[in-house]
Structure 1
């Protein structure tokens, strides 16, 4: 059996959840578990997040999976219902919806009695400059006034486009718009903080915070590691050495012969590749870890194998190689790949064994 393995550390997930509670002690926590809990596996992650106030998901299928696993906490559909039939299903399963366009508001009003009978909240999305979803100012004020007049309990919500960037001018525009709408529509609950904003703007935590990547022990900031943020990596991705070779100076390794040894080198072949979801194209040198020691990947990543330099590491067949985890952070692998940790976590294939 191939030994590419994903380990999920539930204690680390609980630790990160408690960090959210420390940073936002007065807000309720909507734990974001969309995309199969950011690739970590929804079932195991829900077990570690059982004390969360609510869950956030991208689509109805994800919400129903949570219900089918027996969790009764509120769930918010952050993209709302995609059809009137989905609105009905959401109501029947006690799922809050976001509304971000007029047709969703129409469906909501059509099913007003059933929605309110379940004491569900309506999350009204402000488009304050990200220009994906939401009502722009001042249209959103009329929407909120209408919904409140119809007896709905509303939550004003938005999403920051640049919460991870210091001094981006859009941050102040988005904050000011949100505060203006919140004041005009008072009293109304509010939610605008994702992982980066939870760290940066505690004054904006309001009623609900929506942690995502920080729960899983990856950093929302390019210039701060999880260790600096006091977070713990939840996923450890490993594989084992299946072959050992010794090559001389001038010999090549892998497809395209892109690596040529400058000196005698011990190399190991590891049973993992892009077929498992490990990234192929690196814009910087990339590393794995063996017993906490970083060592470089050499040559191209193949579908099922990578080659690594094990000179002076006393590696043997079966030695475990950490692709990312506590020693080799996923954010560092992502940087070498020219992407972000979110993508690497979410795009793992079904081949690695999960434990």
Structure 2
């Protein structure tokens, strides 16, 4: 058995959601993002820990159907909206709210009105404030909103920051200005009851004045930082995922000996090399640089004859392969095949965070979490 595993800590997920709730006004609601299978954690493993959220956000209708099949009774929001008139009809039947970001979606909504008591009578109207990805332009938003309100819909104006992780970026001030001016205009000219949602994880932390009626936490729920230069631990977030495997082989390597594909690593001294039963086929990034490390857990007996764990920081050496990685075990006394190796997990347990490994791979924690494969065994605690 390879012993490659992904452990999901449900208590950590609940803790992180509570950290969000503590930071927002009491009246503000939480749309917890669970797209991409709950950022790679497995949405079926996460729903019970997110019961305090007011609704769940997904990218597409297939994700929404899965959540409904798992018994989620509260709101679901399709953050990309629907992709056809048929899907619009199906989303109403599944009681899913939609973001509206282009004219065809407006027409589908007008042509097929949900029942008066349906949650789908509320639409999330997307405004392009400068992200330039999805949404109506400021000069057309009033006309679109009027069409939808006249048809019988309630609206939540929404937009998305492009640089919320960098609070000093000039685009943030501009986006907030465009959003607040549009919201004021809509409330004055269309419907005074229009609600608003602007903040993702980084926005929640950096722009408390913009929490409005709904916030949309994503990555922070899973214990990864949304901010540049500030760790998840500094933000009092707990990692939900621990990615681990075990030592499957140990060898002594002479100075000058290469290791792995391309002979990228060459030992500059005699070392003890370990092979770990995990690789990019499991979701560990192939492109990590020389700063990547793992934690080797060694069992040791103390004076009371009970076992304790000692953790050792070991560099990743050579190129990551599909099924294996090599590490330097030289500093681990008497290493043994079968020792647990943590690829990323909890810094409080002397383990690398997913954000540290993401830095080594020149990417973000978001990507690493979403790219873990189904090959490792899932364990929920």
Q: Does 1:349 align with 2:373?
A: yes
Q: Does 1:209 align with 2:215?
A: yes
Give 1:50 shift: 1.8
- Alignment match, 1:57: 58
Aligned residue runs from structure 1 range 1-355, under 5 A: 1-26=1-26, 27-112=28-113, 114-120=114-120, 121-186=122-187, 187=192, 188-291=194-297, 292-314=311-333, 315-326=335-346, 327-355=351-379
The separation in 2 between residues aligned to 1:54 and 1:23, in whole angstroms, is 18
**Two-structure CA RMSD over aligned residues (Å):** 1.0
Q: Is the 8 Å Cα contact of residues 127 and 135 (structure 2) preserved in structure 1?
A: yes
Q: Secondary structure at the match of 1:43?
A: helix
Deviations 1:37-71 (A, max 9, x none): 00000101111112211000000000011111111
Q: Is the 8 Å Cα contact of residues 294 and 315 (structure 2) preserved in structure 1?
A: yes
The separation in 2 between residues aligned to 1:200 and 1:6, in whole angstroms, is 31
Q: Is the 8 Å Cα contact of residues 293 and 316 (structure 2) preserved in structure 1?
A: yes
Q: Is the 8 Å Cα contact of residues 243 and 268 (structure 1) preserved in structure 2?
A: yes
> Aligned in 2, Cα 1:150/1:93: closer, same or farther, shift over 3 Å?
same
Give 1:284 shift: 4.4
The separation in 2 between residues aligned to 1:190 and 1:317, in whole angstroms, is 55
Q: Is the 8 Å Cα contact of residues 77 and 98 (structure 1) preserved in structure 2?
A: yes
Give 1:250 shift: 1.0
Q: Is the 8 Å Cα contact of residues 123 and 154 (structure 1) preserved in structure 2?
A: yes
Q: Is the 8 Å Cα contact of residues 284 and 337 (structure 1) preserved in structure 2?
A: no
> Aligned in 2, Cα 1:142/1:305: closer, same or farther, shift over 3 Å?
same
Deviations 1:105-146 (A, max 9, x none): 00000112x254413210000011111110011101111122
Aligned residues between the structures? 354
The separation in 1 between residues aligned to 2:289 and 2:178, in whole angstroms, is 39
Q: Is the 8 Å Cα contact of residues 5 and 243 (structure 2) preserved in structure 1?
A: yes
Q: Is the 8 Å Cα contact of residues 282 and 337 (structure 1) preserved in structure 2?
A: yes
TM-score (norm 1): 0.98
Q: Secondary structure at the match of 2:256?
A: coil
Q: Is the 8 Å Cα contact of residues 290 and 316 (structure 2) preserved in structure 1?
A: no
Q: Is the 8 Å Cα contact of residues 130 and 161 (structure 1) preserved in structure 2?
A: yes
Q: Secondary structure at the match of 1:342?
A: helix
Q: Is the 8 Å Cα contact of residues 344 and 354 (structure 2) preserved in structure 1?
A: yes
The separation in 1 between residues aligned to 2:162 and 2:290, in whole angstroms, is 27
Give 1:261 shift: 0.9
The separation in 2 between residues aligned to 1:30 and 1:152, in whole angstroms, is 20
Deviations 1:169-203 (A, max 9, x none): 11111100110011011121000100000001111
- Alignment match, 2:306: none
The separation in 2 between residues aligned to 1:115 and 1:200, in whole angstroms, is 39
Q: Secondary structure at the match of 1:46?
A: helix
Give 1:149 shift: 2.2
The separation in 2 between residues aligned to 1:177 and 1:256, in whole angstroms, is 52
The separation in 1 between residues aligned to 2:275 and 2:72, in whole angstroms, is 43
Q: Secondary structure at the match of 2:281?
A: helix
Structure 1 outlier segments of 4+, above 3 Å: none
Segments of 5+ residues of structure 1 without an aligned counterpart are none
TM-score (norm 2): 0.91
Give 1:282 shift: 2.3
Segments of 5+ residues of structure 2 without an aligned counterpart are 298-310
Q: Is the 8 Å Cα contact of residues 116 and 152 (structure 1) preserved in structure 2?
A: no
